[in-house]
Amino acid sequence: MKVAVYGAGGVGAYFGGRLAQAGADVHLIARGDHLDALQRDGLRVESVSGDFSMELPATDDPADVGRCDVVLFTVKSFDTEAAAREVRPLLGDDTAVVSLQNGLDNETKLAAEIGREHVMGGVAYIFSTIAEPGVVEHTGGPTSFTYGELDGARSDRATRFLEWCDRADGMDAELSESIQTDLWEKAAFICAQAGMTATVRLPLGEIRSHEESWEMYRRLIDEVCRVGRATGAELRDGTVSQWMDFADDLGADSYSSLHYDMTHEKPMELEALHGTVVRRGRENDVAVPMNEAVYAILQPWAQRNA
Ligand SMILES: NC(=O)C1=CN([C@@H]2O[C@H](COP(=O)(O)OP(=O)(O)OC[C@H]3O[C@@H](n4cnc5c(N)ncnc54)[C@H](OP(=O)(O)O)[C@@H]3O)[C@@H](O)[C@H]2O)C=CC1
Ligand SMILES: CC(C)(CO)C(=O)C(=O)O
């Protein structure tokens, strides 16, 4: 199984490294200082599930890699269109490009550039960042992702990739029959987890311990579920309470990638998260006051860091 990781950062390099440990032929696509360090010193993953280091081919030019079975597409959502324009050298007839990004529009943008037949949707659950060039720090979370064909088919390429994922330690993967549902459900959780940790600028434990803040967390999830349903996505009953239980069990020191980016002067995915919910809410006549508040509070930060 030949796999390219397009955007080998916190998420991509972690899962790519795990697949390489399982024997997959993994190629990293990165840029800047991070790429220099990957080429010079290899990839180092410092993980709560066990540290590991490995030498993997790394480049900024997809033509060096050539056709792959699977491309894990893990750039930030604001880089989706630019990166999608460079994906073609990685594509054979049956190549799957699997987005593991946050946001609701990445798959559509990818499909517009490379064709819907190449695109799978996905959602990732992991807390990981580039701690320094060449080094990915994994601090917690389930280390799992769910992915699937846009039409829900249990295709040969999707099941073949699942077999490889199942061989890998330190990660779990699941094949989805309704990736739109999963994307909206993940959006509901991330708008709460990212929105609250970034606006409050404190970890989840302190947010949980204040009734009003915890209620805002719940309302953020609820609003996104309402918008998702209004757009036609079939969210499961009980999604709000399931996420509240999940968030109740997360470590008290949990934050989010949005909080990390905000506090490290990095571009933020605010438009892909709360910006999209606010716009889709207006289009579908669904009130989203909590998401509007988060969007308004974080816009100056998003502008400053852009
Ligand atoms: N981090 C997390 O814990 C989680 C993140 N996610 C989502 O996963 C996605 C990826 O996040 P994350 O891994 O944190 O992001 P990172 O910033 O850690 O990694 C993305 C990498 O892609 C690189 N990149 C972007 N464009 C290109 C390009 N054209 N060519 C080569 N390299 C490129 C970036 O370089 P540069 O830095 O120079 O831009 C960066 O090194 C996001 O949508 C995020 O919301 C989902 C679940 C958990
Ligand atoms: C769900 C969460 C919070 C970690 O998996 C995430 O997606 C992020 O930090 O971007």
Question: What's the predicted TM-score (pTM) here?
Answer: 0.96
Which atom of ligand 2 is the closest one to the Cα of 125?
5
The 10s digit of each residue's pLDDT in 213-253 is: 999 999 999 999 999 999 999 999 999 999 999 999 999 99
Domain spans of the chain, in order of start: 2-177, 181-305
Cα(267) to centroid(ligand 1), Å: 11
Which amino acid type is present at position 165? C
Residue 142's contacts (CB-CB under 8 Å, 6 or more residues apart) are 125, 126, 172
Which atom of ligand 2 is the closest one to the Cα of 257?
9
Euclidean distance between CA atoms 259 and 266, whole angstroms: 10
CATH architecture of 181-305: Orthogonal Bundle (1.10)
Share of the chain above pLDDT 90, in %: 99
Cα(15) to centroid(ligand 1), Å: 13
The 10s digit of each residue's pLDDT in 164-182 is: 999 999 999 999 999 999 9
Which atom of ligand 2 is the closest one to the Cα of 141?
5
| CATH T-level fold of 2-177 | Rossmann fold (3.40.50)
Cα(296) to centroid(ligand 2), Å: 21
Backbone φ/ψ region at 297: left (φ over 0), alpha (ψ -120 to 50), beta: alpha
